[in-house]
Amino acid sequence: MTDIHIRTATADDIPAIVAMFASDELGGHGDSTDPQYAGRYRDAFDRIRTSPNDTLYVATRDGEVLGTFQTTLVTTLTGQGASSLMVEAVHTRSDCRGQGVGEAMIRHAIADGRALGARQVKLTSNAARLDAHRFYARLGFSPSHVGFKLILG
């Protein structure tokens, strides 16, 4: 795992990140490498990059993008005003799974949460991703809530 490096994503990483998402058959997010959508991804990247609470990361080896994840620091009045670090859009390139990439990304997120003074690290996972659930449990996460979503468009 020592040859895996985690860094903040740059605009140059967008094609590699989008390619990972587009190749995900289970995710169902409708991601595409079609150039007609490039502007949407660039706009989203710019919103994330300029947000004081969001960070988009990539995991690399020898400069090649192997995985990605995003963190968001959320502060609420519950828990006496405690903050939580939310981890989203975790994805390891399919040909790199089982090589420690996911573990390096999640451990980095946990370290960020601690450094930011978060009370906890939270993440969600597609209910069909049973391997991912076992992976998160191995790293100390426990299922605690039932998630809901409403698609707006």
Backbone angles phi, psi at 120, to 5 degrees: -155, 160
Q: Which amino acid is at 109?
A: A
pTM: 0.93
**In Å, what is the CA distance from 132 to each residue of 108, 110, 137?**
17, 17, 9
**Calpha distance 136→116 (Å, rounded):** 21
To which CATH superfamily is domain 5-138 assigned? Gcn5-related N-acetyltransferase (GNAT) (3.40.630.30)
**pLDDT per position in the chain (153 positions), as tens?**
569 999 999 999 999 999 999 998 776 678 889 999 999 999 999 999 999 999 999 999 999 999 999 999 999 999 999 999 999 999 999 999 999 999 999 999 999 999 999 999 999 988 888 889 999 999 999 999 988 889 898
Q: What does the domain layout of the chain look like in residue ranges?
A: 5-138
Tokens of 82: 């405690």
**Calpha distance 40→14 (Å, rounded):** 11
